[in-house]
Amino acid sequence: MRIGVYAHRCKDRKLVPFMLDLQYDVDLTACNTFGFRVVAERFIRIDELGQLPPLCDHCEKERLPLLLLGGGSNLVLSERLPGVVAQMALSGWRVEELGDGESDVTVGAGVPWPATVERALDEDLYGLENLAMIPGTVGAAPVQNIGAYGVELKDRVRYVEGYDRHTRQFIQLSQADCAFRYRGSVFKANPERYIITAVHLRLSKTPALNLSYAALEEHCRMVAGDKGVITPRHVFTAVCQLRQSKLPEPAEIGSAGSFFQNPVVSEAHYRELKVKFPSLVAHPDAHGYKLAAGWLIEQCGWKGKRLEQVGVYEKQALVLVNLGGGDRAQIERLATAIQVSVQERFGVLLEPEPRFYP
């Protein structure tokens, strides 16, 4: 069933009726990468900025919760979603050359992230190669400051455009305003406040490779072969190959990527653990030491294990998977069991990375 909700927006300084096309009881099973059976009570596709003010007014007036949905690759959803689910489908790609080999690229929130990385590379705009093949949309990328192989989105963001539900204004947030941190940002900390509409990236015609991850550098050398000189295209190919060798393809096996964040512990705690577990995988971090959560989980014997219809991916223990017919409750039971065993063995609490909704 579809209904139109009339609201008003400002056009040529006049109030004009604006129709919000809400659909009811929409199946979102194909819109979350876990592949859980999910139904949205109300659903709307956002493909114009003008939809946002009346939508937010409507939700506030009717006291309806609002979930912004991108590609559903970092969400753990319940079977029935109350309120409104707004799928962000804003398009757009604009390049502004700055004259010194640098370019500002503005990309709409609904554009798929993997296609953005590929298009930038095709247009000889470098800087995103290490972030190849991360599922989802451009609008969600700042939310958890996506990162892989030593590069984070924050390294390439100039500012983010959005709609502030508190002030009811369209706004721009500078890189500093976004308060980016490891797998987090002001957007992740305030999920009810900001709707990201576009992201401005600063990319370069001059390659500046980040090969700080040993596995990536080694694989790049193999991809580059005899010619020896590693190019951004080689990095892109190497990242794609490494990811394909370790991660489940969402269309085949449901997951949300890494289920837990890598925990950061104090230097003293790290040293204590390193004495007890000499093969501990850890990297120095601004706040202490970042432990590889996948290694902790594997050491507790979880890799490849199944519990009900969900499990721990056999090639990467940090990834929890839907083996067919699983749901949020089963993933929560599995996640809790893993947290308990890691806490008991290493004294470290693993925090989930995806958002649980509602």
The interface partner of residue 33, options being ligand NAP, ligand FAD, none and the CB cut-off 5 to 8 Å by kind, is ligand FAD
Residue of 42, 183, 185, 328 with catalytic role = 183
How many residues bind ligand FAD (CB under 6 A)? The answer is 35
Annotate each residue in 296-335 with x if it binds ligand NAP (CB under 6 A) or - if it does not, as one string: --------------------x-------------------
The interface partner of residue 73, options being ligand NAP, ligand FAD, none and the CB cut-off 5 to 8 Å by kind, is ligand FAD
Which letter, b or e, does each residue of 319-356 get, where b requires 16 or more Cβ atoms within 10 Å of its Cβ? bbbbeeebbbebbeebbeebbebbeeebebebebbbee
For residue 190, give the nearest of 155, 146, 142, 148 by alpha carbon: 142
Per the structure block, which two tokens stand in for 166?
Answer: 């508190």
Phi, psi of 125 (to 5 degrees): -110, 115
Query: Do residues 130 and 151 lie in contact, with contact meaning Cβ atoms separated by under 8 Å?
Result: yes
213 part of the interface to ligand NAP, by CB under 6 A: yes
Residue type, 324: G
Residue for token digits 């080694």?
A: 218
Q: Which of 51, 116, 130, 144 binds ligand FAD (CB under 6 A)?
A: 144
Q: Round to whole Å and give the CA distance between 346 and 343.
A: 5
246 part of the interface to ligand NAP, by CB under 6 A: yes
Residues that bind ligand FAD (CB under 6 A): 33, 67-75, 88, 109, 134-137, 139-141, 143-144, 146-148, 187, 191, 194-196, 247, 250, 255-257, 355
Can you give the binding site for ligand NAP, defined by CB under 6 A? 147-149, 212-213, 215, 246-247, 257-258, 262, 281, 283, 292, 294, 316, 353
Please list the active-site residues: 183, 258, 353
